[in-house]
Structure 1
């Protein structure tokens, strides 16, 4: 058994596709399949259910997969720990982000990148539930998500921002004279919103519902870039977080604050408490507290 076989196994879990797993691992599909069969023979277990395509893992495969993730995390942690002892942060930081976070993640990435030129980053747009799952399964190092209902026994959170909301619009299509807008002024506008069930959308729905308002969204999507495209083309306005940097994505975008509009929960940086915990993740988490003064932003 070698570390590459474990990487192949975890890549297959993440992609759920033999070809995509092979591409991610920079090998051919036959090579990946052969190495996984070698692992099965060595362990004396069938790990992968195969048909015409990948059909999932056997029960034994799921159990071995959990150990593989832990071993890979420990392997990466060893190299990160050695680098930290040399005063360096190296490796790849895997960061899960909720859509429409009221904190510009590039602010954090830029701080890390300036201080640690050898550090690389993988960013994943995920729901808050998937971020916690990814942290628990060692598929993510850190999460940028909401702190409500956070299980403090298993996760540690650093509050970053109390997310305020504004109305994003393209000034070629919509114009507002007021420096801020009331919820009542938004109810009849053609709105583009994230899909129901997403945390930011829940906060928007609460803002309207608590005032007895029932807007009829013109467009709903789970993709932020589609919201931005629709706003730029004048199809709708969108409720977005202030301080997210999204208003800089369009030449004619304007983000007007909404009065008394905040998400239901503050945003925070999250790390798992349990071992094995990535040395890289731990170093970045504590460095973030120092770089950002550990105080909530606006």
Structure 2
């Protein structure tokens, strides 16, 4: 039953029989057969079928909620039993908003030092993708904003406070300034993250509060792409202080943005479970230690 539920979850996530079979590591006929067997066992139709996957039935959507809980509990049980015999081991999948990528090693380095049998996969994701990934069991945890948009039912552990910098080339008229206002920021040609990123919504919010409106000339979901455009000298950007610090002294200038000096809390989010799995409990404790240091 657990194997069939995992196949059903994969199908719901991928919305395609072939891709779901590839994710699970079985043939497509085996996946289709398992889904039909699950429907027979439960006595309901779970999937609308035609020449291709056409979505979940209302009963299928309800079963999906149960399946995620059951499979999540089974994975937690396996983790706990494995840790009893051999300590923490396995692969931890963490979704991270792009603006927090410069600091993620501050969390993963001490975590893996304490638990050398753990492997960590870091995936760049939007804040919405992180919450969806945790809900669908595709991610184990995430690093995202805690105080700007609703998070739903997750456990939250604060890591650090994000401040913002105006990143520009040395030739910028603002390069020699000790600080710059949000209204002044809007007067420059900007390259910013795309609107599906929560950081962009935060930047838009502070520009609007300063009475300014900006249409970015260049947008990207990659902070590296933004920095490369700033290096050209044709654009400036608004980036978190941690990211700006990586490039100051390397031909770019980072200026604190004030009026106001905005700040937002970034932290670790995990599925809310009592008790937590040993792996996630260890990660939460590592995040709490890091948060206290900051």
Q: How many angstroms does 1:233 deviate by?
A: 4.8
TM-score by length of 2: 0.82
The worse-fitting range, judged by mean Cα deviation, of 117-126 and 187-196 is 117-126
Look up the match of 1:85. Answer: 84
* 1:87-125 Cα distance to aligned partner (Å, 9 max, x none): 622223232322323861232222222332322334444
The answer for unaligned runs of 5 or more in structure 1 is none
Instruction: Tell me the secondary structure at the aligned position of residue 70 of structure 1.
Output: helix
CA distance in 2, matches of 1:204, 1:54: 39
| 1:109 and 2:103 correspond | no
Q: How many angstroms does 1:163 deviate by?
A: 0.4
The answer for unaligned runs of 5 or more in structure 2 is none
Look up the match of 1:26. Answer: 25
CA distance 1:116–1:170, change in 2 (3 Å): farther
Indicate the RMSD between aligned Cα atoms, in angstroms: 3.3
**Number of aligned residues:** 292
CA distance 1:62–1:40, change in 2 (3 Å): same
Look up the match of 1:218. Answer: 217
Higher helix share: 2
Look up the match of 2:285. Answer: 286
CA distance in 2, matches of 1:138, 1:181: 43
Q: How many angstroms does 1:276 deviate by?
A: 7.1
The worse-fitting range, judged by mean Cα deviation, of 67-76 and 223-232 is 223-232
Instruction: Tell me the secondary structure at the aligned position of residue 100 of structure 1.
Output: helix
Q: How many angstroms does 1:218 deviate by?
A: 1.0
Look up the match of 1:54. Answer: 53
Task: Pick one of 252, 255, 258 that aligns with 1:257.
Answer: 255
Look up the match of 2:72. Answer: 73
Look up the match of 1:156. Answer: 155
Instruction: Tell me the secondary structure at the aligned position of residue 99 of structure 2.
Output: coil
TM-score by length of 1: 0.81
Task: Pick one of 176, 179, 182 that aligns with 1:178.
Answer: 176
Q: Which 4+ runs in 1 deviate beyond 6 A?
A: 149-153
CA distance 1:225–1:272, change in 2 (3 Å): same
CA distance 1:118–1:179, change in 2 (3 Å): farther
CA distance in 1, matches of 2:86, 2:262: 38
Q: How many angstroms does 1:288 deviate by?
A: 2.4
Q: How many angstroms does 1:146 deviate by?
A: 1.6
